[in-house]
């Protein structure tokens, strides 16, 4: 394990945003692209600091090419919000009004006969509109062309992820004191959401509470089931704080657990530790999955581990890189991702343990630091 002193997050500067835009234009060129078309979503927020309050049918588009200044096209009624939020002074903002053809305006920002990377979040109607206005242009998925676009975090981004992880840890410590037995899953999920916000999250993305047999569904939506004595309960929760994500999972037991629950929990704990300890610079992402999966397979539960071991995290709670067999992308210092193996016994119970981990120059650092032992709740 590697430890470092944690730096508190500070506001991103205009140069931070300008440097990101310069870098992605260069990266696009290396990937065989003539530029990028960035629509509302995580990439636009990361590149400019602008997150439209509502994503509508009106076209909003950032055009990045080597031969012109970065330009953001926005609806006229949203221009004041964009001007107030955009962090890079070098960014030119142009607008289009209702009744105008936004794609005619957009066509002036994209050279003809080019291959552009485009956000995965782009609406089909917008992509088709660009293709009609610029029939010589073609488009490639941004995630496929530049999968590591936001993967390596700088010190300020790491500070935000660390703060979000600490807030999620505090939420877990508080939820241990909440009564589970006799309450609905939705009631415990509401407690998790409330605590995340109390500890600083501006957005709650998910609050999985899978009790008893519901815990065997990794993405179970908290429902009306009343939690019973003896239930294993999978808790998986997170969201955004200072624009960056948290995501952690722990499995607790209501009252005294069965011997089987204890056994399965210990196997998952060992698998999670093995996955974390496999992380270091230069190691392929798939090795994290292999390390965790081997522990579970050797214990006889390989068929009950039914998902990848992890995913990247940043301005969204799920993003590249992914810790999965076949992903040969080498880990680099500054990459952040989850390590979350699980065992799911259909119609009975499930167990998952998850931490966010960042790669350091010499190894790894956990961004979640609550206990991994099986905790008992009332």
- Predicted confidence at residue 7, as pLDDT, reads 64
In angstroms, the Cα distances linking 348 to 112, 122, 217, 261, 344 are 59, 41, 10, 10, 8
* pLDDT tens digit sequence for 316-329: 999 999 999 999 99
Is 205:238 a contact under the CB 8 Å cutoff? yes
Specify burial of residue 318 (Cβ count, 10 A radius: 0-12, 13-18, 19+): middle
Q: Which of 151, 139, 371 is nearest to 250 (CA)?
A: 371
Q: What count of other Cβ atoms lies within 10 Å of the Cβ of residue 57? A: 8
The whole-number pLDDT of residue 3 equals 40
Which tens digit of pLDDT belongs to each residue from 354-369? Answer: 999 999 999 999 999 9
Element housing 294 (H / E): helix 285-298
pLDDT of residue 291: 98
| Cα within 13 Å of Cα(195), Cβ side | 23
Residue ranges, the chain, pLDDT below 70: 1-7, 54-55, 88
Closest to 156 (Cα-Cα) out of 37, 304, 16: 16
Residue with tokens 């920002």: 109
Strands (E), the chain: 35-38, 61-64, 71-75, 92-96, 115-118, 138-141, 203-211, 232-241, 244-245, 248-254, 310-312, 319-323, 336-339, 342-345, 349-352, 355-359, 364-366, 375-377
| Tokens 């610079």 -> residue | 281
What is the rounded CA–CA span in Å between residue 204 and residue 189? 11
CATH class of 155-377: alpha beta
What's the pLDDT at 127? 95
Q: Output the pLDDT for position 178.
A: 97
Pick the CATH number of 14-145 from 3.40.350.10, 3.40.50.150, 3.60.110.10, 3.20.20.150: 3.40.350.10
Dihedral sign of CA atoms 3, 9, 12, 17 in order: positive
pTM here is: 0.92
Predicted local distance difference test score (pLDDT) of residue 9? 80
- Angstrom CA distances, 11 to 49, 111, 243, 252, 278, stand at 10, 34, 11, 37, 33
Q: Domain segments of the chain: what residues?
A: 14-145, 155-377
| pLDDT score of 6 | 56
Q: 350 pairs with which residues across the strands? A: 344
pLDDT score at 84? 85
């Amino acid at each position: 394990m590697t430890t470092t002193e944690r730096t508190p997050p500070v506001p991103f500067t205009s140069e931070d945003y300008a440097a990101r835009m310069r870098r992605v234009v260069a990266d696009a060129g290396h990937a065989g692209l003539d530029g990028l078309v960035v629509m509302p979503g995580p990439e636009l927020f990361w590149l400019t600091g602008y997150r439209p309050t509502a994503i509508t049918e009106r076209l909003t588009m950032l055009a990045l090419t080597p031969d012109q200044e970065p330009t953001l096209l926005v609806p006229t009624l949203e221009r004041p919000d964009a001007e107030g939020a955009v962090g890079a002074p070098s960014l030119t903002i142009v607008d289009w009004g209702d009744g105008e053809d936004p794609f005619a305006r957009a066509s002036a920002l994209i050279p003809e006969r080019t291959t552009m990377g485009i956000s995965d979040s782009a609406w089909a109607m917008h992509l088709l509109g660009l293709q009609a206005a610029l029939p010589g242009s073609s488009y490639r998925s941004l995630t496929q062309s530049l999968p590591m676009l936001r993967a390596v975090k700088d010190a300020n981004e790491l500070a935000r992820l660390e703060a979000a992880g600490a807030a999620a840890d505090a939420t877990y410590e508080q939820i241990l004191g909440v009564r589970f037995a006799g309450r609905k899953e939705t009631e415990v999920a509401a407690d998790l959401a409330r605590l995340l916000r109390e500890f600083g999250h501006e957005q709650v993305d998910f609050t999985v509470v899978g009790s008893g047999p519901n815990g065997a569904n990794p993405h179970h939506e908290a429902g009306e089931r009343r939690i019973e004595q003896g239930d294993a309960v999978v808790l998986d929760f997170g969201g955004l704080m200072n624009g960056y994500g948290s995501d952690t999972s722990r499995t607790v037991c209501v009252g005294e657990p069965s011997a089987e629950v204890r056994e399965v929990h210990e196997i998952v704990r060992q698998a999670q530790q093995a996955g974390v300890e496999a992380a270091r610079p230069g190691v392929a992402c798939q090795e994290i999955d292999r390390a965790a999966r081997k522990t579970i397979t050797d214990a006889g539960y390989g068929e009950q581990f039914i998902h990848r071991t992890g995913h990247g995290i940043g301005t969204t709670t799920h993003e590249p890189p992914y810790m999965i067999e076949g992903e040969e992308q080498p880990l680099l210092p500054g990459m952040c991702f989850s390590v979350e193996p699980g065992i799911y016994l259909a119609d009975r119970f499930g167990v998952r343990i998850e931490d966010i981990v960042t790669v350091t120059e010499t190894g790894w650092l956990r961004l979640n630091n609550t206990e991994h032992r099986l905790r008992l709740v009332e």
